[in-house]
Structure 1
Amino acid sequence: MTVQLLLNALPGTYAESRRAPEKGVPDWASGPGLVSATQAPDETSILCLADRVPDGVETSGGWQAVQVSNLVDLDVPGVVLAAVRPISEVGLGVFVTSTFDRDYLLVRAAQQRAAQAAWIMAGHSYLDGGLTLRLAGPQENETVAALHFRVWQEAYAKIAPPEVRLALNMVRRTAYWRDRLASGAQAVVVERDGELIGLCALSECAGEIEHLYVARAARGAGLGRQLLQLGQAISHQRGAQQVTLAVVRDNAPAVAFYAACGGDVIAECQDKGPLWLSDNLIYGWSLPA
């Protein structure tokens, strides 16, 4: 059985602390956020927000808590496996705690983007601060095309030749995304209040980001950088050692953004057309081995 999960990142950084069994559950554990106390014969273990743990307590900090928001019966099989397997397969550690209604996963906060990438590519949806990140479905070709069309036309209104902007219309963009999504190609989209506001799509080549777009109304809050990091994490999990992305040389805002994100110009080329022989800069980011 394939289980598709809705994963919700909880705010704050968590810590798992250990106390002697005779000391029981301390008062400092109580408060906002996720709290889990397990008393065993040989220890008492406390999970709570890290800023409540006093000095001198044996603790492991730096954890991100993620709620499995699906409501399922306690004996429904496959839920924890569906959540744990994707991140385990890419080499990330995780521990799980559960309440009566839900399961919670703890991953290292420093590895949050890598875990997010693994979950999304496994077909799960990831909620983060009011945004839902997920794979686009084949039936969404028109909505994905609408975002692509709108952002591209805004970015290149004064750069691309008029005949090119006219040719790259909604009909053409919709046909492109219909064929691409129907073929099984994966594109990560970002949704807010039911509206698509972001897009990141990699090519079949593991380390090439072909599309990265953020709606004008959603800019300035770090979404573009988040999508770039997500593309880098996906590429790394596919075995790539470098991520590349092409941008038209005259697109000054995009050039400044990718440079600010640590990209280096590793090549220059002319687009092969046939519509527009634009001069492009190829930005590259090295990935860890």
Structure 2
Amino acid sequence: MTVQLVLNALPGAYAVTRRAPDMPVPEWVKGKGLVSVTQAPDETSILCLEDRVPATEQSSGGWQAVQVSNLVDLDVPGVVLSAVRPISQAGLGVFVTSTFDRDYLLVRAAENVAAQMAWIRAGHHYCDGKVTYRLAMPSDGEALAQVHFETWQETYAKIAPPEVRLALNLAHRNRYWQARLETNAPTLVAEVGGRIIGLCALSGCAAEVDHLYVVNSARGSGIGAHLLRQAQNMSANAGNAQVTLAVVNENTLAIGFYAAQGGSVVAEKQDKGPLWKSDNLIFGWPAAKQAPTG
């Protein structure tokens, strides 16, 4: 049984500490965040924020905690399996702890993006602060068209010919996205409060990023960089050694952004239309390598 989950990242790095079974629970355990103390006949394990654990303790740090935010009864089947199976299939380590209301998963912080994408590919929603990342659905067509239309028109207001900007109107973008969402080409979205504010659309084989747009009010927040990291992971999972993206030569802001994210120019080509013959730079990233945080 597969359950669609909402997975909420908890702030801070976590650690798991091993102590002798006869030792009392230490005072440093107390504080904010997720805390779990499990006593067994041969050990006591403590889970808490890493910065509270003394250096003298036997501990394993560098874990990202994720809350399964769905509220379900204790005996509802399939919840933990739905959360753990995508991680296991991706070859990542995970451990689980639970409270009365919810389950919590911990993955290595260094593998966090890979874990996110394993969940997202499985149809779950991943929340990082106020931003939710997920795969686009057929019902998202109009919202994606709006983001595409607004951001493209703003970006190319002084670059694209006027007749091209008139032709690529909202109705055109709506038709495009409705048709695209019927294909197997994946589109990642970032949304806040149910409103899509960013998108990253890949080709059917996930070797190319066809579109990467973030609304003007959300630029500089790291959402574009995060979508790009997710795209790299999705491309690597599809078996690609490299993911590429084309950008018009005159789009200097985007070129600076892609360079800052570790991209390098691997080719140049002219897009021959049908509406606009634009000269493009092709940026490339190793698909299996995460881009630096932006």
Question: Which interval holds the TM-score relative to the shorter structure?
Answer: over 0.9
Q: For residues 116 and 13 of structure 2, what CA distance do their matches in structure 1 show?
A: 16
Q: Which residue of 2 aligns with 1:105?
A: 105
Q: For residues 32 and 8 of structure 1, what CA distance do their matches in structure 2 show?
A: 16
RMSD, aligned α-carbons: 1.1
Query: Contact 2:232–2:288 at 8 Å: present in 1 too?
Result: no
How far the C-alpha of 1:237 sits from its partner, in A, is 1.4
How far the C-alpha of 1:52 sits from its partner, in A, is 0.6
Q: For residues 169 and 122 of structure 1, what CA distance do their matches in structure 2 show?
A: 34
How far the C-alpha of 1:184 sits from its partner, in A, is 4.2
How far the C-alpha of 1:197 sits from its partner, in A, is 0.7
Q: For residues 2 and 275 of structure 1, what CA distance do their matches in structure 2 show?
A: 45
1:166 aligned to 2:160?
no
Where structure 2 has 5 or more consecutive residues not aligned to the other structure, the ranges are 290-294
Query: Contact 2:247–2:282 at 8 Å: present in 1 too?
Result: yes
Amino acid at match of 1:190: A
**What does 1:36-75 align with in structure 2 at a 5 Å threshold?**
36-75=36-75
Q: For residues 122 and 208 of structure 1, what CA distance do their matches in structure 2 show?
A: 21
Deviation track 1:29-75 (CA, whole Å, cap 9, x = no partner) reads 11100001100000000000001101210000000000000001111
Q: Which residue of 1 aligns with 2:123?
A: 123
Q: Which residue of 1 aligns with 2:143?
A: 143
Q: Secondary structure at the match of 1:22?
A: coil
Query: Contact 1:14–1:48 at 8 Å: present in 2 too?
Result: yes
Q: Secondary structure at the match of 1:247?
A: strand
Query: Contact 1:15–1:61 at 8 Å: present in 2 too?
Result: yes
Where structure 1 has 5 or more consecutive residues not aligned to the other structure, the ranges are none
Query: Contact 1:96–1:105 at 8 Å: present in 2 too?
Result: yes
**What does 1:178-189 align with in structure 2 at a 5 Å threshold?**
178-189=178-189
Query: Contact 1:24–1:39 at 8 Å: present in 2 too?
Result: no
Identity %: 66
Amino acid at match of 1:244: T
Task: Give the 3 Å change call, closer, same or farther, for CA 272–85 of structure 1 in structure 2.
Answer: farther
How far the C-alpha of 1:102 sits from its partner, in A, is 0.4
Q: Which residue of 2 aligns with 1:275?
A: 275
Amino acid at match of 1:217: S
How far the C-alpha of 1:144 sits from its partner, in A, is 0.7
Q: Secondary structure at the match of 2:244?
A: strand
Q: For residues 160 and 19 of structure 1, what CA distance do their matches in structure 2 show?
A: 65
Amino acid at match of 1:23: M
**What does 1:212-251 align with in structure 2 at a 5 Å threshold?**
212-251=212-251
How far the C-alpha of 1:86 sits from its partner, in A, is 1.1
Amino acid at match of 1:153: Q
Q: Which residue of 2 aligns with 1:196?
A: 196
Task: Give the 3 Å change call, closer, same or farther, for CA 288–120 of structure 1 in structure 2.
Answer: closer
Amino acid at match of 2:57: V
Q: Secondary structure at the match of 2:217?
A: helix
Q: For residues 288 and 205 of structure 1, what CA distance do their matches in structure 2 show?
A: 15
> Where has structure 1 moved over 3 Å in runs of 4 or more?
none
TM-score, structure 1 length as denominator? 0.97
How many residues are aligned here?
A: 289
Q: Which residue of 2 aligns with 1:79?
A: 79
Amino acid at match of 2:6: L
1:6 aligned to 2:6?
yes
